[in-house]
Structure formats: C-alpha cells, structure tokens
C-alpha cells in the first residue's frame, strides 16, 4: 500500500488552516462587523459584512466536510476576489482610511495566493484527501493460511467478527455492497471490489469510484515459523463521508478504524481457533466443540 502521508500532509494542513481562518473571520464579521470595518478601513456597512461573514463560515465548513476540499478552496478564491473588489471600490471614499484599505488589500491578496496555491496542489494530487485514517495491525492465529484465506475471501462472513459491519452482500463478480454502523446509530453504505488476490497469501480491495466512503485495504496471510499458525497482517486506509469533519465525529463516537481493527482481529482469532466469539458480557456466542462445523457453515453461506 502506498504511503503518501508525507506528500499530502503540508497541503492538507494548509487547507485545514484556511478552513479555520474562514470560520474565525466569518464569526468576527457576523458578531462584530463594526470592529472589522474599523480594522480594515471600510465604511461601517454591518449588513454587508455580516453577509460576508456567513459566506466565510459556509466556506470553512465546506473545506472540512469535503474529502478533497478543492471546491471549498476555490470558493475561498471567489470570495477573495469579491473582497478585493469591495476594498478597491471603497478606496476613494471619504468614509474610508486609505492606509488601512491598502494594508487590507495586501493582506487579502496574500491569502488569495495561499488559496490558489492550495487549491491547485490538491486538485493536481488525487491522493490528497482529508480524514484518511491509516491502520496497520498484525496478529498470529493458530490455523492454516488456507482456512483463513478462504474464510476472509467470502466477505459475507466478515460481519461475524467485525463489530462495525451490519452486512456485506455480493452484488457482482468480485463486488460487494457494505453496510457499516455509523456514529449515533446511523448507517454508512458503499460498494467495493477485490482488485488483487493470491490464494492463501493476500486479498486486496478498494471502494468503487464515486462511493461516499473511500476505503482501500489488503490482508496478508503468512505462515508462521515452526508451524505455529498464520500471521495475519491488515493494512487499510479509510475516509468516512464528510472528510475531516466525518473522521473527527467518528473518533468522538468510537467508530474510528484505529479502534475497530485490533478488536476485530482478536475476534477473528477467537472465531477461527475456537469456533465462537465472546460477547461483550464475556459469554460465548455459541457452544464450544463445534468449531469446524460452524466455520464450514459460514464458508458455505
């Protein structure tokens, strides 16, 4: 899996900074338009400044709600052009302060340059996405790579041990429809496909183009030394709907992949080694002694 965090980090951090700048400036314009007018040298036109403030807040929220905040950044550029036009038109007015207007124009021009740079950088880099969470987990399971591979390859089995999944349904050749639990008892749905696999070694999947959820992952099955079972290694990237805002909400409600995947792998280990998964109350979800029959039934499902 490609690790592009170092390439995307600076431009995404800049995008977040510009988003917070929009929200902060917008709140100032809405709550204290007179003070903003005094600082910028504009006439005290409170209605217009409040309108600009609501625009800034909406633009900032758009940046945080988008997985790739290109539209939000270009909306900021459009707002910058409007701000420059208003400042330029007020330059010769008797009610303005030319020195402050000049300083304001220079400041807005500088921010506009940042907006244009960030918008172009993210637009030209399809891998630059906000809210992407990366997970790498490894666990050894006392079972053969063949059994583990065959079980996982039938994605319909995954909700049996992945607590955040409600269902996985096959919809075509190497394609499945996924339904997962979202924050506050909501559901999140997307379609994904297997993009590569090698029997008993690995399975790679990714969400289909245009899905609300971006996810790409690989699970590796490697025989442990000395016949001590199989090493399972999961590598996954995941971005929920609503970009960085969605990722923050998911973390607040405990639905973040970093928390889910380690628990899910331990449940997978329990299922494959004992044929049952312990519930949260500590009691098994089925009777012991039926390991092979239960797993065979799920494989035949």
* Model confidence pLDDT, tens digit, residues 27-48: 999 999 999 998 888 888 889 9
State the pLDDT at residue 167.
92
Q: Which of 133-137, 161-165, 167-171, 293-297 has the highest mean pLDDT?
A: 167-171
Question: Residue 239 phi/psi, 5° resolution?
Answer: -135, 115
Span of 155-164, 219-228, 236-245 with lowest mean pLDDT: 236-245
Distances in Å between the Cα of 79 and the Cα atoms of 25, 166, 258 are 12, 43, 37
CA dihedral 159, 162, 166, 172 (to 10 degrees): -50
Distances in Å between the Cα of 200 and the Cα atoms of 5, 15, 229, 271 are 30, 42, 13, 18
State the pLDDT at residue 235.
92
CA dihedral 258, 259, 260, 263 (to 10 degrees): 120
Q: Render pLDDT for 3-15 as a digit per residue (tens, 0 to 9).
A: 444 445 677 778 8
Q: Render pLDDT for 182-226 as a digit per residue (tens, 0 to 9).
A: 766 777 888 999 999 999 999 999 988 877 777 889 999 999 988
pLDDT at 281 exceeding the cut of 50: no
Beta carbons of 207 and 191 less than 8 angstroms apart: yes
């Amino acid at each position: 899996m490609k690790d592009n965090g170092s390439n995307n980090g600076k431009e995404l951090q800049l995008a977040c900074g510009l988003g917070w700048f929009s929200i902060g400036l917008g709140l100032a314009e809405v709550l204290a338009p007179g003070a903003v007018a005094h600082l910028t040298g504009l006439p005290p036109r409170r209605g217009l400044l409040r309108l600009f403030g609501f625009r800034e807040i909406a633009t900032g929220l758009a940046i945080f709600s988008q997985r790739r905040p290109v539209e939000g950044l270009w909306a900021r550029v459009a707002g910058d052009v409007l701000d420059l036009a208003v400042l330029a038109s007020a330059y010769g007015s008797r009610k303005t302060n030319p020195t402050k207007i000049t300083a304001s124009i220079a400041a807005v021009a500088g921010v506009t340059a940042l907006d244009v740079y960030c918008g172009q950088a993210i637009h030209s880099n399809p891998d630059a996405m906000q809210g992407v969470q990366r997970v790498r987990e490894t666990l050894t399971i006392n079972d053969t790579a063949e059994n583990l591979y065959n079980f996982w390859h039938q994605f319909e089995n995954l909700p049996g041990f992945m607590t955040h999944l409600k269902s996985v349904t096959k919809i075509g050749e190497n394609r499945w429809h996924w339904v997962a639990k979202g924050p506050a008892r909501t559901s999140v749905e997307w379609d994904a496909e297997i993009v590569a696999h090698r029997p008993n070694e690995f399975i790679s999947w990714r969400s289909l183009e245009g899905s609300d959820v971006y996810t790409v992952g690989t699970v590796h099955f490697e025989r442990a030394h000395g016949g001590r079972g199989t090493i399972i290694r999961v590598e996954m990237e995941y971005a929920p709907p609503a970009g960085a805002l969605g990722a923050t909400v998911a973390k607040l409600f405990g639905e973040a992949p970093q928390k889910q995947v380690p628990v899910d792998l331990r449940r997978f280990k329990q299922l494959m080694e004992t044929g049952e998964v312990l519930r949260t109350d500590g009691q098994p979800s089925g009777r012991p002694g039926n390991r092979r029959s239960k797993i065979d039934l799920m494989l035949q499902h």
